[in-house]
Chain A
Amino acid sequence: MVHVEIAAEELFAIGPLIVTNSMVGALLASIVLLLAARWFTRRAAVVPSRGQSILELPIEFLAGIVRGTGGKRWRQFAPLIFAIFLFVLTANWLSLLPGVGTIGLWEGEGEHRILVPFVRAGAADLNFTLGLALISFVAFIAFGLRANGLRGYLKELLVSEPAYMTPLLTPIHLISELSRVISLSMRLFGNVFAGEVLLATMLALTTATLLVLPLAFVVPGVFIMLELLFGLVQALVFALLSMTYITLAIAEHRQHGSDDHHSGEAPEQGTAAANGAA
């Protein structure tokens, strides 16, 4: 049986601040991103070198999607979306490096003796994903307030089109706004945490065959490839959903007959997808 700890383990405490191994993982991701950004900006050229092209690849990929689906005000929120995408992607992929989750100290005695790793995947802790989801929540409320004003925002939230439906629909609106935070954070946490458990389980299942067949090297390797893909998809999904929520919040005044005919079909498709987000 594999031992799995749902909460991140405590490493040490600085005063009242308890540092967990997930925080170390998230911090490492930030450091990697900062170093990459510094290296990137110092040597950036109009005609990119080979390394610069590789770094520009994810940005260009995401910029294409944001430009296509974000409506005409995509420049306002593009930096936030890029930051979320790069941070989640780096944190996810760093957690696949050897040593993450496996190097640590043994704690406890006898039956309860467990390994406390020094570094754990950032997103394998609900605090990390909940923090990101709250940032996204504050962002789409702030963008909605800025685009529609306080009155317009509250009207959108509290008043429904046939007036007699208001008592029924207002709680649904409120719950669906709040449930976005839960669904965003739970989705990322569940995927990354399940990935860790999956890798540990596959390794535990095949360790017994080590002396007969080299399955213990092959089988987890296949799943690590799968985790590379999932890490990318989950980072993309988190960033795209945040973008869709922001686009929805900005575009809500469209129903009141403004001149937004040029924003294209793509935001409406996003709208259709995000309406099921509750």
Chain B
Amino acid sequence: MDLTQLAAGLAMGLGGIGPGIGLGIGFSKAMEAIGRNPEASGTIFVPYILGLALTEAIGIYALVVSLIILFT
């Protein structure tokens, strides 16, 4: 039995849990901060985008691994 596709699905599915939680926390905190102080949204934007990118990178690693499992 070929387990390649199961492996790819598990790699992406399990790898998506952590970044998903992290992105949710980050986004909710950014929204909270903007809600408290709407004028600061310009200042929050750049660190927010950077944090988003760094969190999302983990999910992207999982995606790359699962694509490599699936297509090579």
A residues adjacent to B (C-beta < 8 A)? 4-6, 65, 68-69, 183, 186-187, 189-191, 193-194, 197, 233, 236-237, 240-241, 244, 266, 269-270, 272-274, 276-277
Residue pair B64, A276 in contact (C-beta under 8 Å): no
Listed A/B pairs (5) with beta-carbon separation below 8 Å = A186-B60, A187-B60, A194-B67, A237-B52, A240-B50
> Interface 1/0s, chain B 47-72, versus A by CB < 8 A?
10111111011001101100110111
Cα(A273)–Cα(B53), bound, Å: 10
Q: Tell whether B3 is near chain A: CB-to-CB under 8 Å.
A: no
B residues adjacent to A (C-beta < 8 A)? 43, 46-47, 49-54, 56-57, 60-61, 63-64, 67-68, 70-72
State the main secondary structure of chain B at its contact with A.
Answer: helix
Instruction: Name the residue on B nearest A271 (C-beta).
Output: B47
Residue pair B71, A5 in contact (C-beta under 8 Å): yes
State the main secondary structure of chain A at its contact with B.
Answer: helix
Residue pair B60, A270 in contact (C-beta under 8 Å): no
A4-B71, A6-B71 known; A190+B64 contact, CB < 8 A:
yes
Q: Which residues of B contact A187 (CB under 8 A)?
A: 53, 56-57, 60
Cα(A189)–Cα(B61), bound, Å: 10
Residue pair A273, B47 in contact (C-beta under 8 Å): yes
Residue pair B57, A68 in contact (C-beta under 8 Å): no
Cα(A233)–Cα(B23), bound, Å: 15
Cα(A266)–Cα(B51), bound, Å: 14
How far does the Cβ of B50 sit from chain A's closest Cβ, in whole Å? 4
Partner of A189 from B51, B56, B64, B70 at Cβ < 8 Å: B64
